[in-house]
A and B are shown apart, each in its own frame.
Chain A
Amino acid sequence: MKTLYRVGASVAALALLVTAAACSSENAVNRDDDDTSGGGGGTYGYRIAVVTHGAAGDAFWSIVKNGVEKAGTDLGDTITYSSDGDPQKQAQLIDAAVNQKVDGLVVSMANPDALKASVEKAVAAGIPVITINSGASRSAEFGALTHIGQDERVAGEAVGTELKNQGVKNVVCVIHEAGNVGLEERCAAVGATLGGQLQNLQVDINNLQAAQSTIKAKLQSDTAIDGVVTLGGPVANVAAAGITEAASSAKLATFDLNAEVAKAVQDGKILFAVDQQPYLQGYLAVTMLTQYKANLNVLGGGQQVLTGPALVTKENAAQVAELAAAGTR
């Protein structure tokens, strides 16, 4: 054992030396030279709780969180962000925020029924609630001020229509999270306006390499497929590679964005990407709650405020790519 420790210690020392000696700026391709964080200086000082259903590590929700936090800094509000994919635990997080008597509450409702009691409790306690992302149809019923988000059906139908215009007839829709209502809804909506065939394919978001093989396998086994729709940025990238490897001519469209997707759209590997602007969902919700508290302003007049679908195509991809890399698109 002693020898092992000694080896361990020398290895650690060596590691430090190597790091110190080996830093070269050429490799730092992702480092931002200029500090882009501007704004700030607001003095509203409200305490706003944001409780979402997004899993930790989900690229999409990290952008929402960035938007929420930026709005907090800009306006001078104190933000607490928490999330849990389990509806019951999410409801408990909402209850906790209500107990702390926050000044405003932002909730995403992937499973409205499970959150009904908690949201209504918040409203009854006089806390203004804004729902974001999902749960639009139940938002007003629960007493929320308004809903900010993209209607999955509207977005899916837009994708279906666009693909139809491009002459795509046989689509495989890649679901990366089994049992997610929103994802199923998107695929169904694409099929509704496509006017051709649509089938779902299941992959695991945590093993993208295998996802790529699976998409490739699907394209090899069914050569009639001329369109692929993915429902998240990372999957879109491996789908693009899978299409190339399978020597398929299928056209690729995707929901949700990241820097690589924007780049692939620019290069023509992805036809277009649907952006529901998650940053805006977070930023706007905090801003609207702040304005409501300060000035009783409400946007939308009882209708939901749509943040999407914003289509990212070859024309605007270059500008969006930079913003996506910064975590705001």
Chain B
Amino acid sequence: MTAAVATEAGDERVARVGPLTRLLLKPELGALLGAVLVFAFFALLSGVFRSASGVANWLDPASTLGIMAVAVALLMIGGHFDLSAGVQTGTAAITSGILTTYYGVNTWAALALSLLLCLAIGFVNGYLVVRTKLPSFIITLGTFLMLQGLNLGVTKLVTNTVQVNNFDKIQGYGVLKAIFASEITIGGAPFQIAIVWWVVATVIGSWVLLRTRFGNWIFAVGGDLTAARNVGVPVQRTTIALFMTTSFAAWFVGTTQIVRLTSIQAQAGFGQELIYIVAAVIGGCLLTGGFGSAIGASIGALIFGMTSQGIVYAGWDADWFKFFLGAMLLLAVLANQYIRRFAEQSRR
């Protein structure tokens, strides 16, 4: 494009667009409309779904999923996947559980150590990705399988069974419970504190993405790697930091789980990594990177939570559960894409 043409037509990148189009172009808008539809649908079908206790119940699975989805969305905007994110939640919980209940490590030290372990896994994931230039899909698939084996092997070796239990008998459990798994009663229904952490994660994620230099780097790295490098974005550091962020979220969610259930299974978290990615994609993240939002991912998690519990409230046959879930998610993504395409066309 020559300068003359640009001046004549006006630079399309700075062209003025109407407020409606600008709104429609936001990645999370389609997801938001989807969420409203899903809510209305199930609220009509079931009275319990829209009651306080019903809301508390579907916000609960959405919250831990949402915390992960925000981190995974940042990573996806940065152009990468982390298939080891699900199993890392298990790794975090198993590490804390074994260190305390079998090796007698001080509770806080054990939590710090499992956090360090997760951050180290995130670092290795990121480091290998930037050094080898292999797709993060392959690198983290390797980590995923290794951790899956380690979680099982170590748990079996130490406990002789495949679960670590009695976590509620360790020192300071009361404090942990208050931080990670207490309940707040609103309207007579118990809301998990994880919902608060979910909101906090979403706010921080959005702020970082939209208001900080690091956020710009994330979009730049995921959008066009070479261009980002040419304008001086520290590509390697950004990528590694994103993987470590995902690991941090996995540690947080894993800790929530062991504190709440007081025990953890060796296979905890297997398969959940795909659900995190699904939530981020429903929320408007592109699989190719460079586009998406933290709040969108959170709404994606909300849709997933409402759908998975709504199907039960609606009393549909359990055999078809996964089909309904898949169909709902597909519809949400399609609606999202349709709205964005519509908005992009009307801009021209």
The answer for the CA separation of A24 and B172 in the assembled complex, in Å, is: 13
B183 → chain A, closest Cβ, in Å?
Answer: 9
| Interfacial residues of chain B within 263-301, with CB under 8 A of chain A in the complex | 263, 265-272
Q: How many residues of A contact B (CB 8 A)?
A: 59
**How near does chain A come to B115, taking the closest CB pair, in angstroms?**
10
A59 to chain B minimum Cβ distance, whole angstroms, is 5
Please report the C-alpha to C-alpha distance between residue A214 and residue B310 in the assembled complex, in whole angstroms.
9
Inter-subunit contact A221/B162 (CB<8 Å): no
Binary interface encoding of chain B residues 135-153 relative to chain A, with 1 for a CB under 8 A from any of its CBs, else 0: 0000000000000000110
Interface residues of B in 5-43 (CB under 8 A from A): none
Given A57-B162, A209-B64, A327-B160: A18 and B103 interface contact (C-beta under 8 Å): no
Interface residues of B in 300-330 (CB under 8 A from A): 308-309, 312-315, 318-319, 321-322
Query: CB distance A22 to B237 under 8 Å?
Result: no
B158, chain A: closest CB distance, angstroms: 9
Report if A326-B160 is in contact (Cβ < 8 Å); known contacts: A57-B265, A202-B321, A213-B61: yes
Asked, given contacts A27-B171, A58-B162, A258-B161, whether A221 binds B48 with beta carbons under 8 Å apart, the answer is yes
Interface string of A10-50 (1 = CB under 8 A from B): 01100100110111111111110000000000000000000
Are A57 and B152 within 8 A (Cβ)? yes
Which residues of A sit under 8 angstroms from B48, Cβ to Cβ?
217, 220-221
Q: Is B206 an interface residue when CB atoms closer than 8 A count as contact?
A: no
Q: Which residues of B contact A220 (CB under 8 A)?
A: 48, 53-54, 57, 313
Q: Which residues of B contact A193 (CB under 8 A)?
A: none
B6 CB → nearest A CB, Å: 38
- Interface flags, A289-329, vs B, CB<8A=1, else 0: 00000000000000000000000000000000000011100
A245 located at the interface, meaning its Cβ lies under 8 Å from any Cβ of chain B in the complex: yes
Q: How far is the CB of A182 from chain B (nearest CB, A)?
A: 16
Pick from A24, A55, A207, A234: contact of B163, CB under 8 Å: A234
Interface assignment of A114: CB less than 8 Å from any CB of chain B: no
A154 at the interface (CB under 8 A from B): no
| Stretch of B75-83, B105-113, B213-221, B332-340 contacting A (4+ beta carbons < 8 Å) | B105-113
Q: Is A216 an interface residue (CB 8 A)?
A: yes
Nearest B residue to A172 via CB reads B318
The answer to whether A213 touches B309, judged by C-beta atoms less than 8 angstroms apart, is yes
Is A204 in contact with chain B by the CB < 8 A criterion? yes
User: Which residues of chain B are near A326, meaning CB under 8 Å?
Assistant: 160
Of residues 57 through 89 on chain A, the ones whose CB sits less than 8 Å from some CB of chain B are: 57-59, 62-63, 66
Does B166 touch A at the CB level, under 8 Å?
Answer: yes
With A214-B308, A217-B57 as given contacts, are A27 and B318 in contact (CB-CB < 8 Å)?
A: no
Whether B100 pairs with A27 at a CB distance below 8 angstroms is: yes
Residues B102 and A28 in contact, CB atoms below 8 Å apart: yes
Question: Contact between B105 and A22 (Cβ–Cβ < 8 Å)?
Answer: yes
Tell whether, in the assembled complex, residue A27 and residue B170 are in contact, meaning their CB atoms are under 8 Å apart. Answer: yes
Which residues of chain B from 56 to 103 have any CB-CB distance to chain A below 8 Å in the complex? 57-58, 60-61, 64, 99-103
Mark A255-280 against chain B: 1 for CB-CB distance below 8 A, else 0.
00011100000000000000000000
Count contacts on B: residues with CB < 8 A to the other chain. 67
Give the secondary structure class of B's interface. Answer: helix
The residue among A19, A24, A28, A209 with the most chain B CB atoms within 10 A of its own CB is A209
Residues in A whose Cβ lies below 8 Å from that of B101: 27-31
A159 within 8 A of B: no
Q: Is the interface of A mostly helix, strand, loop or mixed?
A: helix
CB atoms of A57 and B261 under 8 A apart: no
Q: Are A260 and B263 neighbours in the complex by a CB distance under 8 Å?
A: yes
Of the residues B99, B105, B156, B267, contact of A206 by C-beta under 8 Å: B267
Binary contact track A193-210/B, C-beta < 8 Å → 1, others 0: 000000111101111111
Interface residue B257 (Cβ < 8 Å from any Cβ of A):
yes
Is the pair A1, B102 in contact by a Cβ cutoff of 8 Å?
Answer: no
Interface pair A15/B312, CB less than 8 Å apart: no
> With an 8 A cutoff between CB atoms, is A175 at the interface?
yes
For residue A66, which residue of chain B has the nearest CB? B160
Contacting pair A200 B318 (CB below 8 A):
yes
Q: Which residues of B contact A181 (CB under 8 A)?
A: none
The distance from the CB of B277 to the nearest CB of chain A, in whole angstroms, is 15
Interface contact B106-A213, CB-CB below 8 Å: no
* Residue of B46, B57, B151, B319 ringed by the most chain A CB atoms within 10 A: B57
Measured CA separation A61–B113 after assembly (Å): 30
| B177 on the A face (CB < 8 A) | no
* B105 / chain A contacts, CB cutoff of 8 Å: 19, 22-24, 27
- Neighbour of B257 across the interface among A18, A24, A209, CB < 8 A: A209
| Residues in A neighbouring B103, C-beta threshold 8 A | 23, 28, 31
Taking the complex as formed, is A178 at the interface, i.e. its CB lies under 8 A from any CB of chain B?
A: yes
A206 to B270, Cβ gap below 8 A?
yes
Q: A26-B171, A213-B58, A234-B263 are in contact. List 9 more A-B contacts (CB 8 A).
A: A19-B105, A27-B101, A27-B105, A200-B318, A202-B319, A205-B265, A220-B48, A221-B314, A260-B165
27 contacts between A and B (CB under 8 A): A1-B237, A4-B240, A18-B112, A19-B105, A19-B109, A22-B106, A22-B108, A23-B103, A23-B105, A28-B104, A29-B170, A56-B152, A57-B152, A57-B162, A58-B162, A63-B161, A178-B322, A199-B318, A207-B271, A209-B61, A209-B257, A213-B61, A214-B309, A217-B312, A220-B53, A221-B48, A327-B161
- Closest CB pairs A-B (n = 3): A28-B104, A22-B109, A22-B106
